[in-house]
Amino acid sequence: MSETEALQARLVGDIEAAGDLDAIEALRVGALGKAGTVTGLLKTLGGMTPDERQVEGPKIHALRETVTAAIAARKAALEGAALEAKLAGEKLDMTLPATDAPKGSVHPVSQVMDELAEIFADMGFAVATGPEIEDDWRNFTALNIPETHPARAMHDTFYFPDKDAEGRAMLLRTHTSPVQIRTMMSQEPPIRIIAPGRVYRSDSDATHTPMFHQVEGLVIDRGIHMGHLKWTLETFLKAYFERDDIVLRLRPSYFPFTEPSAEVDVGYKQERGRRVVGGNGDDEGHAWMELLGSGMVNRRVIANCGLDPDVWQGFAFGVGVDRLAMLKYGMDDLRAFFDGDLRWLSHYGFGALSVPTLSGGISA
């Protein structure tokens, strides 16, 4: 056996016997590294006569190829075995029952927003959204609340220190009404939307939190009048509270963005320390409670959005989502909505599968 053949037999034997990847690496360095045995043989080619090289060259190159291939094969085998061992140790039986009941729940605000979307979708309303960081033109000016208007001060607005590129003051929207502006400016009438979302005011007590939720409604079409508004609100509230004896009282009021404006009261009864919506507020044992703001969209607002108020009319309304949730599901402290207390969430939260549908029951 030649020296080359002997070296090959020894190296291949060692490689096949290598027990782990570290041993393989050591063998590779020992044979093919800078000072390796095979590398050493390759270097001897330089000192050979052309005739010797003709004979020895192919043998040494073949040796290098054999050793390289043996290393690759052993490495693949060791890695495969390691993977097999890992997989065997990580066995997971997907048919076993879950050891823990699901812990998460859907927040009542999310649930109520889903209920609203379902109810209004049935009446042909789409859901629209807008950013929580607004400019003062969309939040106030376009809604007919000019700079000097007392309503601006009443909103307890959070302003940002810097203005936007157009020089408009930036703020956290104080109501969802700017979505009316965004919708009218980007969409051709007829328009039927609701816009649920977060709003912000610098205000905090048992019934006010700096962030809360509203839903805005907007209809723009030809020949819209207050009868449409009243029917829509009545249909919505009957579906939401899941009772037919909802009685509304429209009280003349003032909002800069509607003319005429109406505050909407709903009849209720006090039962076991809780307000239960339903019945005529003037009936024995009943009273009225203010629930939402509404009105016919002010001609100026329609014109501000580039529409002709002689052609297009509409109504709008705005209502607190948290308030709706409290009334329907019986919570009495708004602050608890945003505490993130797991006991509260598991008590008042909803299962991920209780999706509100008109056919299956809105509160599932």
Residues engaged in binding ligand DAH (CB under 6 A):
175, 177, 216, 255, 258, 293-295, 316-318
Q: What is the DSSP letter of 142?
A: G
Residues 6+ apart with CB under 8 A from 177: 139, 143, 216, 257, 316, 318
Nearer to ligand DAH, 63 or 219 (CB): 219
Least CB distance from residue 316 to ligand DAH, whole Å?
A: 3
Shortest Cβ distance from residue 314 to ligand DAH (Å)? 10
Q: Which CB, 8 or 294, lies closer to ligand DAH? A: 294
**How far apart (Å, rounded) are the C-alpha atoms in residues 338 and 89?**
43
Q: Is the peptide bond before 190 cis (omega within 30 degrees of 0)?
A: yes
State the residue for tokens 């495969």: 80
User: Residues 136, 168: contact at Cβ < 8 Å?
Assistant: yes
Say how many C-beta atoms besides its own lie within 10 A of residue 313's C-beta: 20
Measured from each CB, the residue nearest to ligand DAH is 318
Instruction: Select 297 or 326, whichever has its Cβ closest to ligand DAH.
Output: 297
Nearer to ligand DAH, 130 or 295 (CB): 295
Between 27 and 291, name the residue whose CB sits nearer to ligand DAH: 291
The CA distance from 109 to 358, in Å, is: 18
Closest CB 285 distance from ligand DAH, rounded Å: 29
Q: Which is nearer to ligand DAH, 119 or 233 (CB)?
A: 233
Nearer to ligand DAH, 36 or 178 (CB): 178
Least Å distance, CB 351 to ligand DAH, is: 32
Greatest CA span in the chain, whole angstroms? 122
Least CB distance to ligand DAH at residue 227 (A): 16
The CB-of-292 to ligand DAH minimum distance in angstroms stands at 7
| Residue (107 or 175) nearer to ligand DAH, CB | 175
C-alpha to C-alpha distances, 52 to 45, 56, 57, nearest whole angstrom: 8, 6, 8
Q: Quote the least distance from Cβ 117 to ligand DAH, whole Å.
A: 17
Residue labelled with tokens 């006991």 = 343
Strands of the sheet with 133-135, listed across from one edge: 133-135, 169-172, 159-163
Amino acid at 355: V
- The values of phi and psi at residue 286, to 5°, are -115, 165
Q: How far is the CB of 119 from ligand DAH (least distance, A)?
A: 17
What contacts 69, CB < 8 A, 6 or more positions away?
none
Q: How far apart are the first and last CA of the chain?
A: 86
> Whole-angstrom Cα distance, residue 160 to residue 178?
17
